[in-house]
Structure 1
Amino acid sequence: MVKPKKTRFERKMALYGVIFTLPWILGLLLFHAYPLIMSIYYSFTSYSILDPGEWVGLENYQTLFQDHVFWVSIYNTLYFTVFFVPISIVFGVGLALILNLKIRGQGFYRTMFFMPSLVPPIATTIIWLWLLNPQFGLVNHWLEQIGLQGPAWLGSEYWSKPSVILMSLWGVGQSIVIYLAGLQDIPQDYYDAADVDGANIIQRLKHITLPLLTPVIFFNLIMGTIGALQNFVLPYTLTNGQGTPANSMMFYVMYLYTNGFGYLKMGYASAMAWILFLIVVILTALIFISQKRWVYYQGKD
């Protein structure tokens, strides 16, 4: 069958479409595609911004695997990801279930739990530096009131990462909004049928709410994992980019930034960026593979 030729009007509209999307296309090519391609090339050079650099092959990657701080940054980042992501999911789902209850002032409570996620990271850091101060912080003061000796928090090599996890939960309000949307998407008919069968609240939660909420949990798991692997602003601000004490808060992206813009080892930093990319791809792929075992989609046989 011969495809009919486009009319003059259709060609004109197609041209207008290209013209209107041209700024976005140029932005994509200049500010995303080009830097992405060049970073691959720079990862095999000694590029330092100030000079064009020389081709060094796999030297940057070989040096990375012999870099002690590189492995420490991977450990810190994976530690944060492994603990923060599940805790944030449990915390977010729990709060969403509570905020989904039909009570007076429901909108007010939802707003109050969401507002902390709107606070700029720098302001959040200042607030938590005060709360977790080992000498006059409110958290240790409250612990003393119940007879417990508070830890050094950010000043301790062992408590620094748990402190960052605690502080990061401050912004869980964004995921709560998504969980609430997922909860309200669950058909009421399922709960009515469960009531007729005599199911209690625990049974309804186990067999209806959580299974039908798994697609939303899956989405937040993916986004939370990617975000946690790129944790930067909070620990960088807390330690002024030093990762102290004893590199216990030297996260991967912090070390990448320090090498690229602190030491001007942009080729080295580009190699780190591509290793992080591979880590993100592998973990994301594993999560996608696992969804077949635990994610339930409505209407799917």
Structure 2
Amino acid sequence: MTLTAEARTTGTPASQAGMRRRRAAETRAGYAFLSPWLVGFFLLTAGPMLASLYLAFTNYNLFNAPEWVGLDNFVRLFQDPNYIQAWKVTGTYVLLGTPLKLISALAVAMLLNNSRRGQGFYRSAFYAPSLIGASVSIAIVWKAMFIDNGIVDQVGQVLGLPAGGWVGDPSRTMPMLVLLTVWQFGAPMVIFLAGLKQVPTELYEAASVDGAGPVRKFVKITLPMLSPVLFFNLLLETIHAFQIFASAFIISSGTGGPARSTLFYTLYLYFRGFRDFQMGYASAMAWILVLVVGAISFVLFRTQNRWVHYSGEGK
């Protein structure tokens, strides 16, 4: 007996039931493999975030029960001169460090994009600082380099620059920290390098035939083709810049000095929460930071259509 087209398509009730059981078994297996991550997410991420949201509306010192105070913590924030200073320091760091880091990463990626002898060594050497990350050891070494009579001070004196370390000078601490983040450009460099490998060489050849120079090729071909990668790096590095803590804590010796020049937002949040035991106030600070970073990310996503060009869109 032959099956009709409908029977072949839908199958018998028994086969449909078997298919549903297999799908259910696959679903259970998938959730079983995901369960460690789900447990970690709800216990270590979502749970503490919800608790922090509640504490932001309370007066809590870690020792007594939280006392509901409503919006008082948020009102106090903008009456706190140290809080305003923390935003100024962090904003300056983000506006200076992020563009310089991306420019350095892109410049080195373009240099390494051409085939040359020892290319693998150079790529590894430039990427190595990013493997170390913003660790305590790197911050200690960086501080030792920029203190009075440190190696940077000694080289500066040889070059005729004024003597004196950068660590104790409020006008030099921000450039010193910006240099540290720019030095660790390896991660965005690798991403830029991967993007450069995807740019068709035919575009450059056609531009050369039309008489385009290196600058015009960069503006008209390289940047548009790299715009998705540039958007990704810009978003990621901006978020990372707002999270600076370890290097600022070590270089300032845990004080935010000199003259509050290293009083970054996360550092001041730490002071309020774990030094002054004002956990409700610190939680309010944390949620303001989440909202600001979220708003910046939202603006970047909303404006990407104006300058980010994906292949196949015909822009």
Whether the TM-score (by the shorter chain) exceeds 0.5 is yes
**1:151–1:159 contact (8 Å) kept in structure 2:** no
1:190-222: per-residue Cα shift (whole Å, max 9, x none)?
122223323232222221112211211111111
From 164, 168, 175, give the equivalent of 1:155: 168
**What is the percent sequence identity of the aligned residues?**
38
Question: Greater CA deviation, 72-81 or 117-126?
Answer: 117-126
Question: Greater CA deviation, 224-233 or 283-292?
Answer: 283-292
From 80, 86, 104, give the equivalent of 1:67: 80
Shift in Å at residue 289 of structure 1?
Answer: 2.8
**1:157–1:245 contact (8 Å) kept in structure 2:** yes
Letter in 2 for 1:29: F
In structure 2, the CA distance between the partners of 1:13 and 1:285, relative to structure 1 (3 Å rule), is closer
1:83-107: per-residue Cα shift (whole Å, max 9, x none)?
1111111111111111112211111
Alignment partner of 2:212: what SS? Answer: coil
Letter in 2 for 1:242: T
1:4-37: per-residue Cα shift (whole Å, max 9, x none)?
5543333223222222222222221111111111
Letter in 1 for 2:305: K
CA RMSD of aligned residues (A): 1.9
Alignment partner of 2:65: what SS? Answer: coil
Matched, 1:129 2:129: no
Letter in 1 for 2:159: I
Matched, 1:267 2:280: yes
Letter in 1 for 2:261: S
From 240, 244, 247, give the equivalent of 1:234: 247
Question: Greater CA deviation, 88-97 or 150-159?
Answer: 150-159
Matched, 1:118 2:131: yes
Superposed structure 1 runs of 4+ greater than 4 Å apart:
1-6
Normalising by structure 2, we get a TM-score of 0.89
From 240, 257, 263, give the equivalent of 1:250: 263
Matched, 1:184 2:197: yes
Question: Greater CA deviation, 226-235 or 187-196?
Answer: 187-196
Letter in 1 for 2:284: A
Q: Map 1:1-301 to 2 at 5 A.
A: 5=17, 6-119=19-132, 121-134=135-148, 136-150=149-163, 152-301=165-314
Aligned counterparts of 2:39 and 2:97: Cα–Cα separation in 1: 38
The residue that corresponds to 2:3 in the other structure is: none
Shift in Å at residue 150 of structure 1?
Answer: 4.8
Letter in 1 for 2:282: A
Q: Which runs of 5+ in 1 are unaligned?
A: none
Aligned counterparts of 2:71 and 2:58: Cα–Cα separation in 1: 9
Q: Computing the radius of gyration over CA atoms, which structure comes out larger, 1 or 2?
A: 2
Q: Which runs of 5+ in 2 are unaligned?
A: 1-5
Aligned counterparts of 1:125 and 1:218: Cα–Cα separation in 2: 28
- Equivalent residue pairs, number: 300
Alignment partner of 1:158: what SS? Answer: helix
**1:43–1:269 contact (8 Å) kept in structure 2:** yes
1:103-140: per-residue Cα shift (whole Å, max 9, x none)?
11111111111111222522211221222123x22222
